[in-house]
Amino acid sequence: MPLVLFVKWVAKVGEETEIARILRAMTPLTRLEPGCIAYEPHQSTVDPRQFLLYEVYQDEAAVQTHSESEHFRQHVLSDALPRLESRERTYYEPLY
């Protein structure tokens, strides 16, 4: 069963441009991962510091593969996290 992940990032003041750049770099790399069904980053039109990532993976193993990828370590863990004020991750399962 697919696993859906909603991730909310709030950038530190002045970091929103860099966070957008990081997400643009992550998108094509993540979409090529085996088990990635969807990876859709969004930026708020009301507060440009807020970002929402909609991710769908085949299963938990695909999420684990994503979390252990070199591009995740480089772009998210090393580059993005220090620029974030907050990060929330919520997992969902489809009801079908």
Among candidate residues 70, 7, 68, 75, the one with its CA nearest the CA of residue 38: 7
Number of structural domains in the chain:
1
Those residues of the chain that have pLDDT short of 70 are none
Backbone phi and psi for residue 89, each to the nearest 5 degrees, phi listed first: -125, 130
d(CA 18, CA 57): 26
CATH at residue 80: 3.30.70.100
d(CA 17, CA 11): 9
- Category of 77 on φ-ψ map: left (φ > 0), alpha (ψ -120 to 50) or beta: alpha
Q: What is the pLDDT of residue 1?
A: 87
* Residue given tokens 């990876």 in the structure block: 39
Q: Residue 72 belongs to what domain range?
A: 3-92
Q: What's this model's pTM, rounded to 2 decimal places?
A: 0.94
pLDDT tens per residue, range 65-88? 999 999 999 999 999 999 999 999
